[in-house]
Structure formats: C-alpha cells, structure tokens
Chains A and B, each alone.
Chain A
Amino acid sequence: MNPRLSLLLFVMAGLVVAFAPLPDPAIAPQARTFRMDARQFAYSPSDLQVNLGDTVTIQLLSTDVVHGLYVDDYDVSVEADPGQTATLTFTADKPGSFRFHCNVTCGAMHPFMIGKITVGTNNWLFRSIGLAALAIAGVMVSIKPKA
C-alpha cells in the first residue's frame, strides 16, 4: 500500500480513537458523600469514583495540621483545621480523571499531597492507550517493506 495512504489512514484512525464520542451509560446522577481524612501527606481515601452528574460532597477532616483540598479543572477548594470538618460540594459535570491537591502548605511533602477523583470512566486513558496501540501497529506495518 502506498505509504502516504497508509499514513493518512492511521492518522484518521487516530483521530477516531481520540475524539469519537463514546456512548454514555445513562446512570441517574445521585448525591454522594465521602468522609476523607487528611494527614501529612496523604488523603484517605485518596482515589474516588463517582458517576457523571453526581453531586459530590467531600467532608474533609484534617487529623494533624491545617490541610486543604483543591480539585483540578473543577477549580473548587476547601480548607480544614483539625477539629473542624470542612465540607466541599460540587457537581461532577466534567467526565474523566482529575487530581486533587492540598492547597495549604502543610510541610515538606506538601506539593506531593495528591489524590484522584474519576468521574464516570477515565475515557481519556483508554483512548490514549488505544492511540499507543495504533501507533505501534502503524510502525510495525511499516517494518515489512524494510525487512
């Protein structure tokens, strides 16, 4: 096959893998509450899973010093002193995987105090792996003529 044509085909396949809309599993949004402990330098639980559209409430309980919680992309945050549980509520209207960070300097490893919340399925991860597979398929296909 003409190398240019196969390259074009692979690029188009890549665009499909990256951007083709996936069917939405219609799960009714619900209200979810998580009790989360914060300590130097980890959250517990640190890996949350919710559905698209859920109203998420995180009750942040600091167990040693003042900690915060800032959710990437959602740009919402809250701060909690030990002894005063702080509540953060937001609607998970953006799908995907998002990291949350502590936004009150809480000691040396503060910049690495990180957790993760996944809204729905982490589609972008699967798309990326798909793109990686497509990429090596493309490279391997181009091996044949050279061997």
Chain B
Amino acid sequence: MAKIELTRSPFIKNTLKSRYPQLAVFIVMLVGYIFAILAGLIGTPVGSHNFSIVFVWIAWWAILILVVVPFFGRGWCAMCPIPLPGEWLQRGAVLAPPDKKPKWLNLRVPKMFRNIWLQNISFLLLALFSSVLLTTPSITGIVLAAMLFAAIGLSMIFERRAFCRYLCPVGGFIGLYSQAAPIELRIKDKQVCVTCEGKPCYNGSSAGYGCPWDVFPGGLTKNTYCGLCMECIRTCPHDNIAVNLRLFSADLAKPSTRMDEAFKAFIMLGSAMIYAGVLLGPWGMLKDAAYNVGSNAWFVYVFIFLAIIFGILPGIFTLGIVGIKSSTPLKHRFASLSSALIPLGLMFWVAFSLSFVLTNASYILAALSDPLGLGWNLFGTANTTWQPMLTPILAPAQTLALVGGLIWSARTAQKAANEVKVSSIPMVVYCFVLTSVMLWLLL
C-alpha cells in the first residue's frame, strides 16, 4: 500500500511533537467556542446575524465536512476545544505532565458504554431537533455549553477523554468517516512495540500522557478511534510512531463488523437525505413539522425519521444481501458490507452541505463584523447583504460529489463483498438508487 511518512520531515515531526503550535490552535478554538456560547446567549436572537449560528453551523460545518473530514479524518478532534478545560483539570497541567498528578476518580468507562451507541443517540438527538438548533442562537449556545460542561464533568469522573470517545455527537461520525481519509497515525515497526517496556504510549510518561482516546497505538490499524492528539508521538521512547499520507479509504479494505458502526453509517446516510428533502426542498409542510417541536406533526416527523434510519434503509439493504449464500453469518455480513456506505454517506453530506454553505456563506462576513447584532462593524463588513455564492457551479459540484461517492462506494462494496465471498451487485444497485434519490432531492 502506497504510503508517505509525513513525520520523516523534521519540520512536520517537530511541529506535531511540540506542545506550543498545538496550544496556539487550542487557544484560538477555545476562545472562538466560548465566544460562540456567549453570542448565543446574549446576542441577537436572529440566527443569520448571530456569530454562534453563523460560525458554528455555516463556517465551522463547511470547513469540517468539505475539507477537514475528507482530507484529515479526525483532524478536527486534534484541535477541538471541548475536552480541553476538563482535560487540563484532569491532568493537572496545560503543557507537559506535572510532577504531582491530581487525584481524580479516573474510573474506566463501563463496558456496556464502550461503543458508539451513545454517540449514535446523541447525534440523533441533535438531528431530530436540528431545525430549532440550527436557527436559534440561544439553543446553540446552550448545547455548546452543555457539551463543554459534560466533557468537564466526565473528565472528573472517568479516565482519559470519555466525552470525546463515547458521547460526542460529532466524534461519532467523523470517526466513522476518518476511515476514508488519506492520512493516518500508525506505528512503524511492530517488533519494537513487542519488546517495549511500560508501553508509555498508552500509560503515559514524564514526556506526555497516555492515549486520551483509550487506544493502544501499537495495535492501531484503523483511524476510527484515533483523535490525532499526538501524545503518543511525544511519549514513545523508540520514535516508532508516524503520521502517514496514504490512499483514500485504505481502512475500508478491512471493514469493521461492529453493529454500532454499521448503524452509524445508516444514520448518517439517512439523515443527509432527510435534511436534503426537509431543509433544502420546496415542501413547506415538512419544514413546519420539523420545526414545531412537540406538535403532532413533529412526532410524525420523528417517527418517519427513525423509521427511515433504523428500518427502511437498513431493511432494504439487508434484503439485498440476505439471499446471498455465504458462510459468514448475516449479522457479520450486514456490518462489514455496510462499510461500503461510508464513502457514499460522506459525499451525501458534502453535496448537501455545498448547497447550504454556498447559499449562506455571505452571512459569515456580516457576522464577523457584528457578531452579537449590537451594531458593531469590526471589519467593515457588517452590512454585507445576503447573496448566494457560486450558484452556477453548485449543481455540477454536487453531481461530481455524488457520482464520485457512488463510484467510491461501489468499489468499496466490491472489495468488501470479495472479503465475504458474495456478489456486490445488490449493494451497488442500492447505492445507485439512493444516489439517484439524493440527486433528485438536491438538483
């Protein structure tokens, strides 16, 4: 497998190893995050002119789904501010480990929660309330604050980054999609780890902390749970850890057989399609139902949403693969073959987000100059009028993303099908049908 070891470059290795560049990014993100909470709580209630809505759901989301996830996998986790206050308290230091470690509970997360089901649920909670969340600054502010305090609280009780690994709604899907990304963190030589004493990459040392993601770097074969925090590069005494550039979706060659991850793929695929229809479509009734939380229409909307994600999409998929004679049990096949939906889901989100972002990006300039809607004009752009951007290229870009995603998923399906010795045709047709529906919804 073609790989380029990026950490061969001393510049890259030292930048990643040093705590200062990372800290600088952390401070900027933390300041932005806290300001977003403040803006949500005291700024104008008009979403399109409030920093919290514009910079979280338009600017940050655009960069996340269009650039960071496809090209850097869990790159956002590497700079996310949410775990920081809790982690600094937990560690008793902001930079290198202190001499005297503070005594927090450091409990291990109970086994029954050591999966991504809680993340599936937290993502769904946000998704079902998304019409209100995406448009109401105070709700965004409260949710951001809640995540911050949850992370702090969990850090006081559990070891490592419990919020990030097991609760964060964003982490759930960027972990899944990071399998498709072209960068990875891996050990260089397995033998070195076999003879290593103490395994400081996992247990920590004076040079750094044990993996906050509860991953043993020596056994890391997929990107899914590695948050690219670089602690292991700092602690490894044998310089055996590297960050590599590699082919896209290399991890999908060894598909996971976990049900939680399988359903995550369907959750993401389904919600992208539902968002495209409800938020970007011309059907006012659907928007009313999605927005009027608590009304009868909303309960019907929730029911249909969940039925699509947990029933219809996986159900049809299973019908496609159930007839195939195979030695692998159905559950196994279901999980590993559904990994083929990962590239498709990612590109569905890219296509959906392109429309939403290009239409509303002009709000970013206005919110930059007047983040709270108080009449400021910090950069002179406060009166930028709303104007959709680059609309002529939108449709071709969406087609490229969706057809590209289809090809990508079809080839992944081929390889996954080969692994379990079945035909990939039902899955490929399934992907084609869903892609056509998404094209119809967006174009």
**A/B touching: CB–CB < 8 A:** yes
A residues apposed to B, CB below 8 Å: 39, 41-44, 46-47, 70, 72-73, 96-97, 99, 101, 103, 105, 108-116, 122, 124-125, 127-129, 131-133, 135-136, 138-140, 142-143, 146-147
Q: Does B330 contact A (CB under 8 A)?
A: no
Contact partner of A122 among B279, B418, B431, B443, CB < 8 A?
Answer: B443
Contact partner of B282 among A116, A125, A129, CB < 8 A?
Answer: A116
Pairs A–B under 8 Å by Cβ, sample size 8: A46-B283, A103-B386, A108-B136, A122-B443, A127-B399, A128-B402, A129-B436, A132-B436
Report whether B284 and A139 are in contact in the complex, using a CB–CB cutoff of 8 Å: no
Give residues of chain B (290-316) contacting chain A, Cβ–Cβ below 8 Å: 291
B residues apposed to A, CB below 8 Å: 46-49, 131-132, 135-136, 279-285, 287-288, 291, 359-360, 386, 388, 391-392, 395-396, 399, 402-403, 406-407, 410-411, 414, 418, 424-425, 428-429, 431-432, 435-436, 439-440, 443
CA distance A14 to B78 in the complex (A): 39
The residue in chain B whose Cβ has the minimal distance to the Cβ of A115 is B282
Which B residues lie within 8 Å of A113 (CB)? 287
- Known contacts A114-B282, A115-B282, A135-B407; is-contact A146 B418 (Cβ 8 Å): yes
Which B residues lie within 8 Å of A43 (CB)? 282, 284
CA distance A101 to B389 in the complex (A): 13
Report whether B443 and A112 are in contact in the complex, using a CB–CB cutoff of 8 Å: no
The residue in chain A whose Cβ has the minimal distance to the Cβ of B359 is A101
Report whether A109 and B291 are in contact in the complex, using a CB–CB cutoff of 8 Å: yes
Report whether B428 and A136 are in contact in the complex, using a CB–CB cutoff of 8 Å: yes
The residue in chain A whose Cβ has the minimal distance to the Cβ of B386 is A103
- Known contacts A135-B406, A139-B407; is-contact A114 B429 (Cβ 8 Å): no
Q: A39, A116, A125, A132: which has the most chain B beta carbons within 10 Å?
A: A132
Which A residues lie within 8 Å of B282 (CB)? 42-43, 46-47, 99, 114-116
Which A residues lie within 8 Å of B281 (CB)? 114, 116
Report whether A101 and B410 are in contact in the complex, using a CB–CB cutoff of 8 Å: no
Report whether B287 and A109 are in contact in the complex, using a CB–CB cutoff of 8 Å: yes
Contact partner of B284 among A41, A122, A133, CB < 8 A?
Answer: A41
Report whether B443 and A124 are in contact in the complex, using a CB–CB cutoff of 8 Å: yes
Which A residues lie within 8 Å of B440 (CB)? 125, 129
Minimum CB–CB distance from B397 to chain A (whole Å) comes to 11
Report whether B443 and A97 are in contact in the complex, using a CB–CB cutoff of 8 Å: yes
- Known contacts A73-B392, A97-B443; is-contact A128 B411 (Cβ 8 Å): no
The residue in chain A whose Cβ has the minimal distance to the Cβ of B418 is A146
Further 18 A-B residue pairs, CB within 8 A, beyond A70-B388, A112-B135, A124-B399: A39-B284, A44-B284, A46-B283, A109-B287, A109-B291, A111-B47, A112-B287, A114-B282, A128-B402, A128-B403, A129-B436, A136-B432, A139-B414, A140-B428, A142-B414, A143-B414, A143-B425, A146-B414
